[in-house]
Structure 1
């Protein structure tokens, strides 16, 4: 075999190898561009927000039925981060030990709950505070009026204390970070866009008049919750809060 023939074969193998590498690189570039295009189209159309709105509509109806069947007050808890942050909104369900009502001044309740959460978070990082004294009848004697009042207060608080409630129909979830949520109920002046927000369900078979806004980019869907039936109408726009 001549030197010239060997050189041509080596050049041919080299050329074929470079061609395969170039094809591989081209495929990778096309895949990246395709993925970016799909994500861009999803953001433009608000596909994630639309899907989230549908999931929340089914969840609200399921929790409405669960509260009626269990005979307990339940609530859907939204933990909404600052709209300017890249953190994701989380939600989960809670049920009380008994049937309880909710404050008519929801704005005050939400402020108090957010303050309590902040204090609890600070306490978990530092020395624990003094625990409230449990109700005890001292010395086996008849309880005093003060002790009776304290005992009744603890009993009511125990009935109204909410604990996590999860099932296949009511899962805890973290939403995509580019999907933003805000919540308004009839006891609020403005939708909650940052912090904790509640949507209550009562065992008597009703909930609160509420709007849940789900937004991705410029696309907004509003979940219009019926207080008497728990049915949810999904509207492809931001409904104005009733005045």
Structure 2
């Protein structure tokens, strides 16, 4: 008369075991996803991908400058260390071959100051300031300024829109710094440039891509444009 009870108990135990297995599998899947994301962060996976993409852009822009006879450059916009803004970079080319300043650190300091001043001044205020001069026929100073403007226009850089060097934005948690031969230290915030010249050479440079404690160094050869990616932070060469 007591035979049915053990069978019912076994069915209940079997059903409870399946539920526990389902829950356990769900928990395991969540933990596995967390481990994969954690390992990616620990190994600097995002930084490695960013470094590889940047190496391809550098090579493409090197070829572009050599084929078009124009001076081109990569423009890096580097946010402050504690900023949540991402690192951005884009390509620009001038209308012809132009030279660069030998004192890059001073030039970057002046340009960063000019960029800050430009943000503080509204477009209308700048326009009113530029048009506040006296009317009538142009004087000698006006002619000098016009000639200077013409020369600056010829050397002005404009955005290069080639698909292979489209503007990019680095992933969250990835930072970047840039050193070139004209600098004593790497630029970590503000604007930084890497130039490519129509004669078929670029600047001796090192670009550091960081994610946490992981650093990838892009060492750029000036004569060939070849980029060597090293999974460590190389020292800045002594110039």
Change in Cα spacing, 1:46 to 1:65, as seen in structure 2 (3 Å) is: same
Q: Distance in 2 between matches of 1:25 and 1:151?
A: 76
User: 1:140-168: per-residue Cα shift (whole Å, max 9, x none)?
Assistant: xxx76444422221111101211111221
Q: Secondary structure at the match of 2:172?
A: coil
Change in Cα spacing, 1:86 to 1:34, as seen in structure 2 (3 Å) is: farther
The match for 2:4 is none
Alignment of 1:142-157 (within 5 A): 145-157=140-152
Please report how far the alpha carbon of residue 92 of structure 1 lies from its aligned counterpart in structure 2 after TM superposition.
0.6
The match for 1:208 is 203
Q: Distance in 1 between matches of 2:193 and 2:23?
A: 50
Q: Distance in 2 between matches of 1:30 and 1:92?
A: 42
The match for 1:3 is none
Q: Distance in 2 between matches of 1:23 and 1:82?
A: 49
Q: Distance in 2 between matches of 1:181 and 1:91?
A: 10
| Unmatched segments (≥5 aa) in structure 1 | 1-7
Q: TM-score, normalised by structure 1?
A: 0.82
Q: TM-score, normalised by structure 2?
A: 0.83
Q: Say what the alpha-carbon RMSD is for the aligned residues.
A: 2.9
Alignment of 1:70-149 (within 5 A): 70-124=68-122, 128-129=125-126, 130-132=128-130, 145-149=140-144
Residue 44 (structure 1) aligned to one of 39, 42, 45: 42
User: 1:171-194: per-residue Cα shift (whole Å, max 9, x none)?
Assistant: 111101211110000111110111
Q: Secondary structure at the match of 1:169?
A: helix
The match for 1:233 is 228
Alignment: residue pair count: 228
Q: Are 2:190 and 1:198 aligned? A: no
Q: Distance in 2 between matches of 1:236 and 1:118?
A: 35
Please report how far the alpha carbon of residue 76 of structure 1 lies from its aligned counterpart in structure 2 after TM superposition.
0.3
Q: Distance in 1 between matches of 2:83 and 2:142?
A: 48
| Unmatched segments (≥5 aa) in structure 2 | 1-7
Residue 218 (structure 1) aligned to one of 213, 220, 226: 213
Q: Distance in 2 between matches of 1:128 and 1:31?
A: 59
Change in Cα spacing, 1:122 to 1:203, as seen in structure 2 (3 Å) is: same
Q: Distance in 2 between matches of 1:44 and 1:186?
A: 32
Please report how far the alpha carbon of residue 218 of structure 1 lies from its aligned counterpart in structure 2 after TM superposition.
1.6
The match for 1:161 is 156
